[in-house]
A and B are shown apart, each in its own frame.
Chain A
């Protein structure tokens, strides 16, 4: 158990819909990272927040957005969903802004029908 929690574990929705994925980092960790894992693209970095502010951006679509709240939990919002958005979405946390040691949550499996 990494100490990072993600909810929900599974999500099934339809194209065009909007969903919110939630992540609680390890106690005391200030950074939260979001990743997308799909069969064709592999594991791709989406975005990082550090202490409430956006720190780094990866291959995140404009339809996706994220935020980190004062209690340090984070949410990833996916809108206008397409079939190709079906994937495992991982959240990770680290104590500082460094990417060297990240602790991954168990992931949220999103299925878009």
Chain B
């Protein structure tokens, strides 16, 4: 079945460092791809998405490009802030029996130190 694999954390960076969180997927066809973020004590929030190959999703300085040749959707940010400390989830939209569902990776915890 469809699945998402994320780099295991935790990831610890200093403020203003460059961030990459790797995400690869296995799916039939070309699913829509998402990054969600979960801040401490809160629910998930959609960070960005891409619906077709070569699309770039971006939001709040974060970017991810849908690469069908490598089945990847890596999350990047050029300069992280302490406020970016959170758990990041990569996800895909899977079609199953005529209905949709989101399949999530295990999540990657990011800690940014001042």
Interface residues on B, range: 20 to 34
Contacts of B69 in A (CB 8 A): none
The number of A-B residue pairs with CB atoms under 8 Å apart is 54
The answer for the CA separation of A97 and B101 in the assembled complex, in Å, is: 10
Q: Are A42 and B102 in contact (CB under 8 A)?
A: no
Interface residues of A in 77-113 (CB under 8 A from B): 90, 92, 97-102, 104-107
Contacts of B101 in A (CB 8 A): 45, 48, 56, 58, 99
User: Which of B9-17, B44-52, B59-67, B74-82 is the contact stretch?
Assistant: B44-52
Q: Which one of A42, A56, A101, A106 contacts B100 once the chains associate, using CB atoms below 8 Å?
A: A56
The answer for the CA separation of A2 and B104 in the assembled complex, in Å, is: 20
- Convert B89-114 into 0s and 1s, putting 1 for each residue whose CB lies closer than 8 angstroms to a CB of A: 10001001101111111110000000
The answer for the CA separation of A56 and B95 in the assembled complex, in Å, is: 10
Interface residues of A in 1-23 (CB under 8 A from B): 2, 4
Q: Are A2 and B43 in contact (CB under 8 A)?
A: yes
Q: Which one of A43, A55, A100, A104 contacts B99 once the chains associate, using CB atoms below 8 Å?
A: A55
A106-B93 contact in complex given A45-B103, A48-B101, A101-B46, C-beta closer than 8 Å: no
CB within 8 Å of B: which residues of A? 2, 4, 42-45, 48, 55-58, 90, 92, 97-102, 104-107
